[in-house]
Amino acid sequence: MSCLHRLEELGITKEKLISTCLELFVPHPGVETREKATEVLDKVFDELLEDANVCALLEAALALETRASKGELAGISKDAHSEDAVFIVADEIIGMAIAEYIAGTRARFEFVRYDVKKPGVLSSLPAFVDDAVAGLIAGASALMYSLRGRI
């Protein structure tokens, strides 16, 4: 099963990933327009959603989400999970790991922007999934800017 197919099972399509990424779009040399950004992001997400390591980290977040939602993670009650309690930082760590794997430390800034604002599809996702997907989007965004549209 492909990584994109797993995300689509949760209602997360490539189009939603791109539109969420574009909600915080800032024009940059090489990607001056939303149209150019969309073109670049389409290619970037195609590559990222075939990367075995990105997919493995996303799968880890999905597995943790499944267990946490049932109250099966040590130290994290079902209520703490549903409230996304502040003491739970593993979800952010996974999101940052995904972002940094994709685009290095420059993606950490992007991760914080997406994690704090929770635009688009991120606003409707549960704790572990929203941060993992935010990491994916942040990494894609950082790549788009650093490649300056040359893809």
| Local confidence pLDDT in tens for the 151 residues of the chain | 689 999 999 999 999 999 999 999 999 999 999 999 999 999 999 999 999 999 999 999 999 999 999 999 999 999 999 998 999 999 999 999 999 999 999 999 999 999 999 999 999 999 999 999 999 999 999 999 988 766 6
Please state, in angstroms and rounded to a whole number, the distance separating the CA atoms of residues 151 and 10. 28
Q: Number of structural domains, the chain?
A: 1
Residue 73 neighbours by CB under 8 Å, 6+ apart: 64, 67, 81
Domain interval for residue 106: 3-147
Of 111, 150, 151, which Cα lies nearest the Cα of 134? Answer: 111
φ/ψ of residue 79, rounded to 5: -65, -45
Predicted TM-score (pTM) of the model is: 0.95
Using DSSP's 3-state secondary structure scheme, residue 100 falls into helix
User: How many C-beta atoms surround the C-beta of residue 112 within 10 A?
Assistant: 16
